[in-house]
Amino acid sequence: MLKDKVALVTGGSTGIGKAIATYLASLGANVVINYFVGPEEANKVAKELSDTYNIKSLAIHADVSNYESAEKLIKEVVDTFGKLNIVVNNAGITDDALILRMNETQFDRVINTNLKGVFNICKHAARPLLKSGYGRVINIASVIGRYGNVGQVNYGASKAGVIGITKTLAKEFASREVTVNAIAPGFIETPMTQKLPPEIKEEMLKHIGLGKYGKPEDIAYLVGFLASPLASYITGVVIDVDGGLTI
Ligand code: NAP
């Protein structure tokens, strides 16, 4: 369904990003896996995808929070493949604390990665996407950006900002048929949530209607749909994928 399309997944070598990269490759897209600290894992995933799905995949380093680094990443993608069709802004971090204890560095670090990172990538990807004739932006936000959460004032603000970017760019890009949508995951089992204390995880589980945590693939399948021609009339929306957590 995505044969000959070129997709970029930021933070694509672990967790949700890895599942997204894998599913897009299985649909036939050539996939660039952006990584920040883990070249071995990213190169391994890229090789696995190329070998398994008969597509081209490569790993490229970039710090999405850095304007010039994001610019270099997009340039390298376009220089290598000649175009860019699908951008999945997935890279993200947490650094939780109640506001009474949160310091400025914690706030800035999360905002710079999760929010400014999405701006940096969209800013540099805009021109190639608008020229591509088939463009999709899918931003991984969070239910925390919609509903808030104790101890996550930095993360909640960053993800609410991502929703603002999504709706704004959906309007800016609509006339060129580039769609821009966001997914708001609930609690998904990844390295990010593994580090939470067991009592917080157990408490969370009590509120999930379906009675289980999500898997990275639960997000990836929706990304695949939004990236496909099947979703060509959907833009500017935020879709919760949370097992009923926020009902
Ligand atoms: P994860 O396993 O910790 O993965 C985060 C990814 O982001 C890693 O691949 C990491 O790359 C990358 N990254 C971090 N800082 C970066 C930077 N400055 N530049 C480029 N890449 C960077 O987390 P995850 O759970 O899969 O989360 C993926 C996305 O889903 C995040 O945006 C997160 O906020 C969102 N989300 C997750 C959940 C959940 O329950 N897990 C819920 C809602 C939303 P390296 O490993 O190379 O550093």
215-227 confidence digits (pLDDT tens): 999 999 999 999 9
Burial class of residue 246 in the structure, from the number of CB atoms within 10 Å of its CB (0-12 exposed, 13-18 middle, 19+ buried) = middle
CA 18 – ligand 1 centroid, Å: 10
Q: Residue 102: what pLDDT? A: 98
Q: Residue 38: what pLDDT? A: 84
Q: Is the CB of 13 under 6 A from ligand 1?
A: yes
CA 36 – ligand 1 centroid, Å: 10
36-64 confidence digits (pLDDT tens): 998 999 999 999 999 999 999 999 999 99
133-151 confidence digits (pLDDT tens): 999 999 999 999 999 999 9
**Does residue 22 surpass a pLDDT of 90?**
yes
Burial class of residue 17 in the structure, from the number of CB atoms within 10 Å of its CB (0-12 exposed, 13-18 middle, 19+ buried) = buried
**Does residue 30 surpass a pLDDT of 90?**
yes
Q: Residue 221: what pLDDT? A: 98
Percent pLDDT > 70 in the chain is 100
Is the Cβ–Cβ distance between 121 and 140 less than 8 Å?
Answer: no
User: What value does the mean pLDDT take over residues 180-199?
Assistant: 95
Q: Is the CB of 243 under 6 A from ligand 1?
A: no
Select from 9, 14, 66 the residue to mutate for testing ligand 1; criterion: most ligand atoms less than 8 Å from CB: 14
Q: Residue 99: what pLDDT? A: 98
Task: Kindly indicate whether the domain formed by 6-241 is annotated with CATH number 3.40.50.720.
Answer: yes
pTM over 0.85, yes/no = yes
